Amino acid sequence: MRSHAQAVVIGGGLIGCSILYHLTKLGWSDVVLLERSELTSGSTWHAAANIHGLHDSTNISLLQHYTMALYKELEVETGQGCGIFQPGSLYLAQTEAREHQLRLQEAKARRYKMNFYEIGRDEAERLHPLVDFDGIRCIMYEPEGGNVDPSGVTLAYPAGARQRGAEIHRFTPVTCTEAQPDGSWIVRTPKGDIRTRWVVNAAGLWGLEMAAMAGLELLLMPTEHQYFVTETIPEIAALDRRLPSVADRDGEYYLRQEGLGLLIGAYERDMRFWTEDGTPPGFGHELFPDDLERIEENMMRAIDRVPVVGAAGIKRVINGPMIWSLDSAVLFGPVPELANYFCCNGIIPGFSQSGGMVKLAAEWMIEGEPSLDMFGWDMARFGHWAGKAFTRARVHDQYSHRFKIHFPNEERAAGRPVRTRPAYEKQKAMAPSSTSISAGSIRSGSPPPASRRKRRPASPARTGGHRSAARRACCARMPASSTSPTSPNMR
């Protein structure tokens, strides 16, 4: 194992492997990935791995399209299959509000020359003859939508990185990360120590534990998430092509073909947290007991929309963990209080974003700033007031309303109030609005970082680029009534 490296990536899941690949793709070869167990451990291996291009944020849409195109390039470059299926995706609107949202996305797609457009019922029935389209106001089609094989993609990234000189060490847990006076780090493992310029926390379910080694507390919390796969469905077995996936967000489920059956997943209202006090160190490729009663309402809506599901047996149930930030957007970028410590934690639509997001991370570390403005992912968007109780309330709200229509500058009530003015009760009686930055009815000028030092005050922000520094200076001058934009992700 090397004793020195330009960067040490901690975590051998989808995001860590992609970071290693993109660092080498941009020219760094002296890079190392450390994985405590086997690659894909944690939440990567059991993911549904759906991919789509459109997002409410234009910049996220751009990076998601980059990701989808990258998978085919990876297969050619490395010879490792990524299990790419792109039969397209159908997006259904049952309500006027959802129709409006889809038409806005269609307009955005035209503006940026993305492939997302409305189709009629006849065409939709030709594409997916098993769906009952009664009651659907609008149908959009994304021809490149689909899914990939989670293990195939995660193994393709390190294969490409190894070709450019990267090292990967499995079964090598990190035991300590020590900041040095010159801004470098020493990463300690049972197999030896590495001195590195950059530490990258891409530890997934163990992101909290890795951050704690550096004296940081990240605002993350894991939940359970379920989907199930049906037995073979004769109507699918009789087809000579693959069916498009279905995004019925008003029905609060997602559905796609898996083998000769269907995969149906849900973000249920009756959600469950998992290991609120930290991920067990021995956890790796385990799953939780089935609990389909929890998603029964979502399943019934899926059966109403695709009746053959009701007659199909269930082949297997996947109930596994995923880890969330309190606005369901990634905690992304250099940690303001620490030199050369980069976080990439709390990613939900990982297989749609793993390429583009991590390309930005590599640009930030190597070139000094990312090529796209990702202010909605800024590490400094939450302050010291956002403790465990607030994080729990927000993660519950984000999970259980995953498919809700979100709006720019949206302010959500979950977790409020955290801090209040003396006049709060009087103002509350007058029904004022409040901001998520304050989590109550006050507004601080420039919020402290989302990560927090445990033993010493935060040092001045270090963002790695003049653009981020300028944004922070602008935030400091904002009036007390300002609000912060949000970038909700959609699966």
If DSSP codes are grouped into helix, strand and coil, which group holds residue 442?
Answer: coil
pLDDT tens sequence for the chain (491 residues): 999 999 999 999 999 999 999 999 999 999 999 999 999 999 999 999 999 998 888 999 999 999 999 999 999 999 999 999 999 999 999 999 999 999 999 999 999 899 999 999 999 999 999 999 999 999 999 999 999 999 999 999 999 999 999 999 999 999 999 999 999 999 999 999 999 999 999 999 999 999 999 999 999 999 999 999 999 999 999 999 999 999 999 999 999 999 999 999 999 999 999 998 889 888 989 999 999 999 999 999 999 999 999 999 999 999 999 999 999 999 999 999 999 999 999 999 999 999 999 999 999 999 999 999 999 999 988 888 899 999 999 999 999 999 999 887 788 889 988 888 898 888 888 876 665 444 443 433 334 454 544 444 443 333 344 334 433 433 333 333 333 333 333 33
pLDDT score at 486: 34
Please provide residue 267's backbone torsions phi and psi, each rounded to the nearest 5 degrees: -110, 95
In 232-349, where does DSSP find H-type helix? 234-237, 296-305, 308-311
Find how far residue 251's CA is from the centre of its chain: 22
pLDDT score at 433: 62
Please provide residue 59's backbone torsions phi and psi, each rounded to the nearest 5 degrees: -65, -35
Torsion of CA 101, 102, 106, 109, to 10 degrees: 80
Q: Supply the Cα-derived Rg of the chain in whole angstroms.
A: 22
CA distance 446 to 81: 46
Domains of the chain with bracketed CATH: 1-491 (3.50.50.60)
pTM of the model: 0.86
Q: Which residues have C-beta within 8 Å of that of residue 482, sequence separation ≥ 6?
A: 435, 443
